[in-house]
Structure 1
Amino acid sequence: MDSSCTYAELDLAVAARPAMPWPSLLILAAVTFVVVAGELLPTAMMPFMAADLRVPVPQVGLLVSLWAVVVVVASFPLVRLMAGRDRRRTVAVGLVVFGGASLLTALSPNFTAALGSRVVAAAACGLLWATMNAHTAAIVPEHRLGRAVAVVLGGGTLGTVVAVPAANAAAELWDWRAVFVVLAALSLVGAAAVVLAVVPGRPDGPAEAATPGTPARVAGSPVRVVVGITAASATLAAGHLAAFTFVTALFATSTVDTGALLVVFGVTSGLAVVVVGRFADLRPRQVFLADAALLAATLLTLAVVGASAGGDVVIVAIWGLASGAAFPLAQTVIMGAAGPALRSVAGTIIPVMFNLGIALGTAAGSGVVDRLGVPALPWLAGGVALLGTAVLIGALRGPSGLVRRSLRTGMTGDAS
């Protein structure tokens, strides 16, 4: 943070600006698009990379699976290293490193070099997620947090729905290395945009707690409550990924074309982000609980895919809605429960625990498929998601109803 800019000045700046700093949110959404696209590029171009680097296709899968492990390990140390600095500069530095690592991937002469560059990119990704989570919450009023999170994470949804198939087509038409060069260029453009156009946010810590209008919950939001909600959310993600990793195998029994079902899933996932942005700020806790239960139920109903074409489309559409809404809702509730005093802590916990959930869910799904076959997968996925829903209920109750009061105060108190 610039020494010339005091906490009081930053707080007044946030209070004086329009309720939603749209240019800043859209830039952060674009950064999210770049980060998610970069994470998933090897998935989209796996056969091309394997042939060029002269390794088996499963070995290229390490470029994706190792990513989550690096994010889990590297996020906290990097956030501590950058603590106290202007978050905008931290995001810019992370993007420059991310882009440089992507360029190194494009220039890699062999698989070992590519793997090393991806480790660096994954570490930068962990820092970027943690910092952007915190900064998104810091530049909007608390009662608009759900909408802001939906906008920023909408970039990630586009990264999944648009960038992945586009990268596959580009690799087939030209070369997979060119795709990583484009990713590097977009990262540098994003870094410049963040420095030049993203607004500063409120600072963390006790200084914020004394600010007039800040909810009284700040001083009483325990880290264990934030960790509990995040752990429940990560368990939901694990259940979802246990099934989605083998989505083509799950859809193989349907009379509906797998590609068409994936389009339905992508469209409804994107629609879910829009719905969250519209309604999540009204009752975030209740909406998240309902969505968690819906996700668990839908994962269980994947066991009957193939019974009828119409039923398959409905199940996949609901799955897309529930899973697409889950992450923005989770982040809204987590950051709302944390408050300004724990914003950086919560922002770091989110990518760490979610990536841990992704890794464990993928591994569990693989184990079940190997031992029991694809038909057993919905029961595993649904059971894990039910466990996550139960943990979420307990976490949202909190000590003496703390989270209920904090969310009610944080999301509605500023509106009065």
Structure 2
Amino acid sequence: MTASTATLRSSGARRRGGTPLLLALGLTLFASVSTELLPPALILGMSSTLGVDAAAVGALVTVWAVTIVVCTVPAVRLTRRLPRRALLTASLLLFAAATLVVALVPSFAVVVAARIVSALAAAVSWSVVFAYVPRLVPEERLGRAMAIVLGGGTLASVLGVPIGAALAAAGGWQWAFLGAAVLLALSAAALARGLPALDPPGDDGRSRRGIDRSAIPVGALLGAGALLLTGYMTVYAFIVPVLGAAGVRPVQASAVLLAAGIAGAVALVAGGALGDRFPDGTLLVLVATIAAGAVLLAVATSPGAAIAGAVALGFGIGGLPPVFQARIARTASPAFRDLAVSLFVVILNVGIAAGSATGAAILGTGGLGTLAVVASALAVAALLAFALTLAVTRQTSRRQRP
């Protein structure tokens, strides 16, 4: 593809982009995250029908996360030369078919296999979704665009899973997966009809000469993100007992978590807009808020301090994804961008797995106080890593300017 053709495709995509297509991409993430999180909400019905215990059903989420971590990079590389719109449509249809199998085949082995296929399809579809966003909007609107798309994933935990649980209560757990399959198929149809054509990223020869230059700062940002998410999940996976140790009664914990969720939703909306105006400052504020929340939970001796810490965690983690993804997209070179933005879901699942395992190990040998202290140390270390990486990246960019 010539440079002029690339420019025409890019400018045409941006003219026809706008909010409707971003919302359609957000619907894809809504369906994907809802499908990922359904098993814990349907655990009793699924365990009864499939003839396994609750722990086995819960492991379906672990299987998904491990598949994402292990297979995302190979899957993105294997499909890198395929046209993006066709790849997104095909991956979503495969995702829908695998989800349909979960609903219709009452065999745990088949369900496990279908979940692995679903996770592979999700990994590919997420990579293409995030590859489209920088092509649909100008760079100065990238943060807001990412907030719209990632809002679908946020809404999945707020609305998607409860809706799935309601469907299960009304007619059986299979209806929740049937609904998810229909939603995925509708997303595929809408995007196949509405998205502009987009060629695979061009090969400028750098892969033959060595590593892409932008891979180093992108890798540093992703490493800092993995460290931050590990610290966050170390404490958040056990947030209810941590709150309880500071005097927050169990009946109050749900209200505290709701307040944290609302704070996260506010940060998601505000973070996208502020991230476009002050990209590095907004990212550092959100990371610092997560670190501050972990520190508050570590030192809290009263319910008020613990609640403030939980809300700070919710605010920071709610606003982080669009600002962080926009920073990754702006840092990566055009040839490396598709792979770079696809790695967000990898570090997210790494953080979930590593943080949960770290918290569980600490609880087995120490206590809740130790758990919050370790989480604080990880989050503060991540803040320092982000600050250093952003400072070096800015300095390098200034040196490279003519």
Whether the 8 Å CA contact 1:235–1:357 is kept in 2: the answer is yes
Give the structure-1-normalised TM-score: 0.87
- The gaps in structure 2 that reach 5 residues or longer are 205-210
Q: Corresponding residue for 1:250? A: 242
Give the Cα–Cα distance (whole angstroms) in 2 for the partners of residues 137 and 228 of structure 1: 21
Answering whether residue 332 of structure 2 is matched by residue 356 of structure 1, we say no
Post-superposition shift, 1:269? 1.3
Post-superposition shift, 1:123? 0.9
2:361 is aligned, of 364, 367, 389, to: 367
Q: Secondary structure at the match of 1:109?
A: coil
Q: Corresponding residue for 2:163? A: 166
Show the 5 A alignment for 1:198-217: 198-200=195-197, 204-205=201-202
Show the 5 A alignment for 1:371-382: 371-382=365-376
Answering whether residue 267 of structure 2 is matched by residue 272 of structure 1, we say yes
Please tell me the residue identity of whatever aligns with 2:291. A
Post-superposition shift, 1:380? 2.0
Give the Cα–Cα distance (whole angstroms) in 2 for the partners of residues 270 and 201 of structure 1: 31
Post-superposition shift, 1:399? 5.9
Post-superposition shift, 1:358? 2.1
Q: Deviations over 1:98-151 (max 9, x none)?
A: 111111111232222211111111111111121111111222111111010011
Q: Secondary structure at the match of 1:257?
A: helix
Q: Corresponding residue for 2:326? A: 332
Q: Corresponding residue for 2:119? A: 122
Q: Corresponding residue for 1:287? A: 282
Post-superposition shift, 1:306? 6.7
Post-superposition shift, 1:192? 0.3
Give the Cα–Cα distance (whole angstroms) in 2 for the partners of residues 64 and 88 of structure 1: 28
Give the Cα–Cα distance (whole angstroms) in 1 for the partners of residues 115 and 212 of structure 2: 39
Give the Cα–Cα distance (whole angstroms) in 1 for the partners of residues 191 and 53 of structure 2: 39
Q: Deviations over 1:362-396 (max 9, x none)?
A: 21112112222333321122221122212212222
Q: Percent identity?
A: 32
Change (3 A) 1:23 1:201: farther
Show the 5 A alignment for 1:24-35: 24-35=21-32
Q: Corresponding residue for 1:13? A: 12
Post-superposition shift, 1:47? 2.5
4+ residue runs over 6 A deviation: none
Return 340-349 or 230-239, whichever deviates more: 340-349
Change (3 A) 1:306 1:172: farther
Return 282-291 or 389-398, whichever deviates more: 389-398
Please tell me the residue identity of whatever aligns with 2:385. V
Please tell me the residue identity of whatever aligns with 2:239. V
Q: Corresponding residue for 1:298? A: 293
Q: Corresponding residue for 1:343? A: 337
Q: Deviations over 1:150-203 (max 9, x none)?
A: 110011110011112222233233211110011011110000001011234586
Give the Cα–Cα distance (whole angstroms) in 2 for the partners of residues 139 and 402 of structure 1: 28
Q: Secondary structure at the match of 2:276?
A: coil
Q: Deviations over 1:326-376 (max 9, x none)?
A: 122111111111142321121232222332222211211121122223333
Change (3 A) 1:260 1:401: same
Return 220-229 or 395-404, whichever deviates more: 395-404
Give the Cα–Cα distance (whole angstroms) in 2 for the partners of residues 131 and 307 of structure 1: 46
Give the Cα–Cα distance (whole angstroms) in 1 for the partners of residues 49 and 212 of structure 2: 55
Please tell me the residue identity of whatever aligns with 2:191. V
Number of residue pairs the alignment of both structures matches: 392
Q: Deviations over 1:29-83 (max 9, x none)?
A: 1111111111111122223222222222222121011211101221122212221
Please tell me the residue identity of whatever aligns with 1:76. V
Return 183-192 or 38-47, whichever deviates more: 38-47
Please tell me the residue identity of whatever aligns with 2:229. A
Give the structure-2-normalised TM-score: 0.90
Q: Corresponding residue for 2:388? A: 394
Give the Cα–Cα distance (whole angstroms) in 1 for the partners of residues 376 and 20 of structure 2: 39
Q: Corresponding residue for 2:231? A: 239
Whether the 8 Å CA contact 1:272–1:324 is kept in 2: the answer is yes
Q: Corresponding residue for 2:208? A: none
Post-superposition shift, 1:23? 1.0
Please tell me the residue identity of whatever aligns with 1:11. S
Cα RMSD of the aligned pairs, angstroms, is 2.6
Whether the 8 Å CA contact 1:21–1:139 is kept in 2: the answer is yes
Q: Corresponding residue for 2:73? A: 76
1:67 is aligned, of 58, 64, 67, to: 64
Give the Cα–Cα distance (whole angstroms) in 1 for the partners of residues 45 and 225 of structure 2: 34
Whether the 8 Å CA contact 1:11–1:202 is kept in 2: the answer is no
